[in-house]
């Protein structure tokens, strides 16, 4: 009986020739990640163990991104805790404001994650790095803290669901529409503690940014991780961003999958997830007239350069509708700078958007875009739970950057085709 991609990576890092679904293993870690919310919890737990140092100062990343730049005194104290720990233990990959970005965009961009790696992060969207052919998953702060000092983590080997992607997406359809379609199809617990493994000739038609978006939201279907095969685009991305050696793992032909779904990308339409779950999906055409108050374009899901380009292409020469707040947040400093060089920031400002320094901010209802009671937002973020971006009586509609930008122009949920694009 063969192994899936995920199972092969876990077997190799556990020093085993073979693993199977449900097996408990202890695996070596290539990267351990925390931010300014989860990091202090892990640090305080680790300090109770009186461990004098971390397992490898080069294999830990501490990224203050959720409430940074500091929103208030409490967030300042959290960031200070992470900063002082990084300094005390000479942690190489600590990213201060000015160098930092949203963690799940920053780590691939800085080359810290490559194909074949294992990574745990005290943030549920750590599954993003599966886009590179790595095994990455979110864990609790205590497990993350243990990983910092031991370099190991326990896992139950996940079973897998295979998604065979075929064809090519239409204009204005993106990776966000793909993953929203999938979550709408299988539900928020449809892949519970399973590996979502993406294959098929359609993968080659997805950009790396599309893949990051899809892998990022695997957790929204309950998955342990999402993972893509390593192809020429993956290798080109890694060569551009990293000097780390990588290893390609491929699923065996007789690998076991609990289910297989085939998705023709050419049939997909711009899609929106209605409140209050990512599975409540409709195409924009099916959405009816939903008036909104705010648009957010950014986050670890859709704050990359392709996302900003798509939004700018919609907004160019147009104005944000009266009464609409449109907030654009590049995911990293490098993306922000690239957006400036390409004139995207000028387009955003001329259209009436606010452009922010990199931060998770509004995604988790932290800052830079909190919703009041009764307000609605179209957001390129990954969750739309009750109260996710503010008041419990507010509503969040998840969408792609193109749909978010079109909605900012019309003041209601819209797709670019409605603007003649």
| pLDDT over threshold 90, residue 216 | yes
- Ramachandran angles phi, psi of 72, nearest 5°: -160, -175
Specify whether 67 is located in the same domain as 203. Answer: yes
The residue among 312, 361, 367, 320 whose CA lies nearest residue 340 is 312
Q: Alpha carbon 383 to chain centroid distance?
A: 11
| pLDDT over threshold 80, residue 249 | yes
Specify whether 294 is located in the same domain as 413. Answer: yes
- CB neighbour class for 329 (10 Å; exposed up to 12, middle 13-18, buried from 19): buried
pLDDT at 47: 83
Specify whether 205 is located in the same domain as 298. Answer: no
CB 298 within 8 A of CB 330: yes
Name the average pLDDT for the chain: 96
pLDDT, tens digit (0-9, with 9 covering 90-100), for 104-133: 999 999 999 999 999 999 999 999 999 999
| pLDDT over threshold 90, residue 291 | yes
The residue among 198, 190, 229, 195 whose CA lies nearest residue 214 is 198
pLDDT at 45: 86
pLDDT at 53: 86
Specify whether 135 is located in the same domain as 9. Answer: yes
Domain that holds residue 97: 5-263
pLDDT at 88: 93
pLDDT at 104: 97
pLDDT, tens digit (0-9, with 9 covering 90-100), for 361-376: 999 999 999 999 999 9
Q: Which of 217, 240, 263 lies at the terminal end of a domain, its last residue?
A: 263
How would you write 29-86 as a 3-class SS string? CCEEEEECCHHHHHHHHHHHCCCCCCCCCCCEEEECCCCCCCCCHHHHHHHHHHHHHH
Specify whether 304 is located in the same domain as 198. Answer: no
Specify whether 198 is located in the same domain as 340. Answer: no
Q: How many domains does the chain have?
A: 2
Classify strands 376-379 and 294-297 as parallel, antiparallel or unpaired. Answer: parallel
Taking residues 246-260, what's their average pLDDT?
96
pLDDT at 95: 95
Q: Which of 219, 240, 263 lies at the terminal end of a domain, its last residue?
A: 263
- Could you give the C-alpha distances from 82 to 87, 93, 224, in angstroms and in order? 9, 12, 27
pLDDT, tens digit (0-9, with 9 covering 90-100), for 75-111: 999 999 999 999 999 999 999 999 989 999 999 999 9
Taking residues 189-206, what's their average pLDDT?
97
pLDDT, tens digit (0-9, with 9 covering 90-100), for 8-59: 999 999 999 999 999 999 999 999 999 999 999 999 888 888 777 899 999 9
Reported residue count of the chain is 421
| pLDDT over threshold 90, residue 168 | yes
Specify whether 228 is located in the same domain as 286. Answer: no
| pLDDT over threshold 90, residue 393 | yes
pTM of the model: 0.96
């Amino acid at each position: 009986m063969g192994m899936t991609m995920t199972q092969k990576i876990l077997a190799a890092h556990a020093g085993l020739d073979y693993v199977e679904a449900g097996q408990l293993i202890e695996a070596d870690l290539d990267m351990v990640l925390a931010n300014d919310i989860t990091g202090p919890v892990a640090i305080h737990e680790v300090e109770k163990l009186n461990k004098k140092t971390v397992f490898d100062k080069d294999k830990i990343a501490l990224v203050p991104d959720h409430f940074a730049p500091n929103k208030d005194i409490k967030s300042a104290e959290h960031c200070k805790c992470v900063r002082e720990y990084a300094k005390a233990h000479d942690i190489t990959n600590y990213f201060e404001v000015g160098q930092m970005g949203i963690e799940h965009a920053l780590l691939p961009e800085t080359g810290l994650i490559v194909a074949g790696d294992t990574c745990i992060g005290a943030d549920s969207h750590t599954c993003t790095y599966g886009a590179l052919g790595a095994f990455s998953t979110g864990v609790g702060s205590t497990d993350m803290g243990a990983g910092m000092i031991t370099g190991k983590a326990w896992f139950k080997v996940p079973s897998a669901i295979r998604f065979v992607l075929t064809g090519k997406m239409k204009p204005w359809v993106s990776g966000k529409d793909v993953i929203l379609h999938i979550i709408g199809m299988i539900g928020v617990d449809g892949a519970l503690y399973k590996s979502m493994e993406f294959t098929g000739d359609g993968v080659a038609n997805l950009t790396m940014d599309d893949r990051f978006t899809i892998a990022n939201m695997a957790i929204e279907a309950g998955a342990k991780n999402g993972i893509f095969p390593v192809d020429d685009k993956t290798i080109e991305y890694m060569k551009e961003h990293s000097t780390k050696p990588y290893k390609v793992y491929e699923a065996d032909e007789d690998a076991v999958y609990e289910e297989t779904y085939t998705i023709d990308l050419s049939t997909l339409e711009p899609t929106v997830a209605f409140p209050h779950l990512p599975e409540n999906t409709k195409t924009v055409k099916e959405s009816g007239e939903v008036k909104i108050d705010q648009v957010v374009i950014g986050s670890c899901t859709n704050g990359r350069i392709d996302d900003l380009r798509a939004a700018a292409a919609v907004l160019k020469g147009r104005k944000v509708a009266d009464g609409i707040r449109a907030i654009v947040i590049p995911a990293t400093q490098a993306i922000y700078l690239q957006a400036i060089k390409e004139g995207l920031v000028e387009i955003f400002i001329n259209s009436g958007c606010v452009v922010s320094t990199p931060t998770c901010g509004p995604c988790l209802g932290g800052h830079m875009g909190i919703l009041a009671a009764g307000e609605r937002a179209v957001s390129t973020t990954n969750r739309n739970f009750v109260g996710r971006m503010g008041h419990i009586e507010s509503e969040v509609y998840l969408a792609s950057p193109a749909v978010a930008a079109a909605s900012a122009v019309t003041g209601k949920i819209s797709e670019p085709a409605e603007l003649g694009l």
